[in-house]
Amino acid sequence: MISPDTHLAGLPLPQLRQRYQHELFESVLPFWHQYGIDHQYGGVLHALDYDGSPVNHTKLSWFQGRALWVYSFLYNNFGRNPAWLDIARQTRAFLLQHAPQPDGWWAEAFHRDGSVLRPFSGDLYGMYFAAEGLQEYAWAANDDESRHLAFALMRQLHVRIEDPSFACMDCPLPGQRSQGLWMVNLNIARQMVARWPDPEIQAILDQAIDAVIHHHYNPDIGLNNEVLNHDFSRHSDHATRCQAGHSVETLWMIAEEARRRNDQALWDTCTARIRRHLDVGWDHVYGGFSECVNVNQGGYQWPPYTPVGTTIPFRFTGEYFYMKPLWALNEILIATLNILEHRPNAHWAADYFTKAQAIMDEKYSRKRYGQPGYLLFTDRLMTQPEHTARQDNYHPPRQLMLSILTLDRLLRAV
């Protein structure tokens, strides 16, 4: 049991919970309500500068499904405020009116009014986030139609990723498998089967866990490879490469499923691997968490990378790809707090939690500029650009919500 006088990130647990409560309900959600939620057409605008002013009015499917999940989760876990369910309902209506296409796939980008800007071109993540949002909304609204649609999407997408000719946006060659796709599969499936047991969705969940734990994990480097061949062999170009943030994110999700199953061995495996990825991915010189590492490849020329919804590519040479995303820090906070809930003497987890929160406050927060948000993507030195091309309506509120719920459990146990 955790001690009553435990401090994390310099705060006693009750004060940490109050801090997160204030940030979520007095900063994050008001920002999105004022600038991001499209009260006229439904859905959410995400191409926003730090002050909330629109960069453009494009709506990507990723952020619609994510918004549907966030507001449905709020309703399910934080007081059943009908205003949150109404936002979720309007977002669902926007998606279902504009996204499904005659060929069975869903459009990827829209004008503000919902007219299609980019039809489906192979990006499955938007459909996965729609499935996640729909299943959460189904629970909130007791809506069988949304539940059935979420299940149908999961089955449709699983067939797609099993096709050897499928070209995943995360992979350079057709047929290759991405840890990122396993991550969304297992994360959505674990939420679904906990509410509605189903053998097909359970099989998807089991397959995804097996792929990450037994195949993407590379014992030669002690890290997860992000990309594998279709037969789960390692492609020579990716055998030493790891996307560290994805790995931490995926592993905490599996660890939570291990707790639900009472599988202590699986939980221990995930915990040890989370620590290993944190030790390797953390920048012990400047702080922050690196996007990727290519072990022992000091002269490696990384392909240019432009995060979804942004316009500026990042370029690096060397063993580390030193783009430092905010979302990875959000995932570190979730992962380490979850570990501390079940292993309060894991001092390394407390240390990484504290460091992640500190670097967010010192280098990523826009509060010093009088703005409520955070820098989303930056270089190794965590330079603050004057403007940004998008905001994140998913990782920050998810981290705050999950952390509040975890802290509530910890405080009840004291």
Dig out the tokens for 214 from the structure: 């037994």
Of 64, 128, 58, nearest to 91 by C-alpha is 64
The domain locations on the chain are 1-35+244-414
Residue-wise pLDDT for 87-122, tens only, equals 999 999 999 999 999 999 999 999 999 999 999 999
CA atoms within 13 A on the CB side of 62: 17
Position 4 scores a pLDDT of 60
* Residues 98 and 107: beta-carbon distance below 8 Å: yes
**Euclidean distance between CA atoms 411 and 414, whole angstroms:** 5
Beta strands at 324-325 and 116-118: parallel, antiparallel or unpaired:
unpaired
Q: Which CATH number is 1-35+244-414's, of 1.50.10.10, 3.30.70.890, 1.10.150.120, 1.20.1250.20?
A: 1.50.10.10
**Euclidean distance between CA atoms 333 and 407, whole angstroms:** 12
Instruction: Tell me what the mean pLDDT of segment 20-42 comes to.
Output: 97
Q: Does the pLDDT of residue 44 top 90, yes or no?
A: yes
The pTM of the full predicted model, rounded to 2 decimals, is 0.97
Contacts (Cβ under 8 Å, ≥6 apart) of 297: 240, 319
Going through 82-141 in order, the beta strands assigned E by DSSP cover: 109-110, 116-118
Confidence of residue 48 (pLDDT cuts 50, 70, 90): very high
Position 310 scores a pLDDT of 77
CA dihedral 379, 383, 384, 389 (to 10 degrees): -20
Task: Kindly list the strands in the beta sheet with 241-243, ordered across the sheet, starting from the edge strand earlier in the chain.
Answer: 241-243, 292-294, 320-321
Q: Does the pLDDT of residue 249 top 70, yes or no?
A: yes
Beta strands at 116-118 and 223-224: parallel, antiparallel or unpaired:
unpaired
